[in-house]
Amino acid sequence: KVIAEIDPDIILLQEVEDRGSLEDFNEEFLPEMGCSPFDEIFVVQGNDYRGQEMAIMTKRGFKLRSIQTHVHDRNRHGNPLFNKDLLVYEVKTPSGTTCHLISAFFQERWSNMDSTDLIRKDQAIRTAEVYQGLQEDGKSNIAIAGTLNDVSYSDCLSPLLRGTDLRDITKHPS
């Protein structure tokens, strides 16, 4: 209902069961809610073995140009850094502008909070590097969205919100 009410041009999704379910949601459920379906759907399989994938859907002339995955990024112990993935989508708007959307899913909290805090901080550091790399390549119109699994003032997220020019959306004047 929220998606139908907002009727976005682009939506990033996490914990998608599978492409077939997402197609059904797009073609059957959204129109029942009064929302036009999305034109393009792309589902990316990540590191999650439970079948919780990531996806992007676009409509109204917004075109997915490229996807960069960080599924193979490793932590200092040689294990996958991201539980699902860190994806960078390049989307061309109908006006010809290009935007870069970074879809992040950071470590969920476990009973050992210190351990998960360290994992999230490493994920934030890598995400900040990806963001800054896009800027160094002359890219603009960059947004990071997703599930960071912590409050914006957390030390775990400081590499993103204090170590870059990124700002929490709740701080935006509009």
* Residue 172: strand pairing partners: none
Can you give the pTM of this predicted structure?
0.91
Q: How confident is the model at residue 94 (pLDDT cuts 50, 70, 90)?
A: very high
Question: Which tokens go with 52?
Answer: 């919780």
| ∠ Cα 136 41 62 (to 5°) | 55
Rg (CA), the chain: 17
Residue 113 has pLDDT above 80, yes or no: no
User: Which candidate, 126, 4, 7, places its Cα nearest to that of 68?
Assistant: 126
Residue 111 has pLDDT above 70, yes or no: no
User: 18-36: per-residue pLDDT in tens?
Assistant: 999 999 999 999 999 999 9
Residue 40 three-state SS: strand
Q: How confident is the model at residue 89 (pLDDT cuts 50, 70, 90)?
A: very high
Question: Which tokens go with 125?
Answer: 């550091």
As a whole number, mean pLDDT of residues 41-66 equals 90
User: 122-168: per-residue pLDDT in tens?
Assistant: 999 999 999 999 999 999 999 999 999 988 888 999 999 888 999 88
Write the DSSP symbol of residue 27: I
Which pLDDT does position 82 carry in this prediction? Answer: 92
Neighbours of 78 (CB within 10 A): 6
User: Which candidate, 161, 75, 154, 163, places its Cα nearest to that of 119?
Assistant: 75
More confident of the two residues 51 and 26: 26
| Dihedral angle, C-alpha 53, 119, 104, 76, nearest 10 ° | -90
CB 73 within 8 A of CB 126: yes
Which pLDDT does position 112 carry in this prediction? Answer: 65
CA-CA distance, 84 to 131, in Å (whole number)? 18
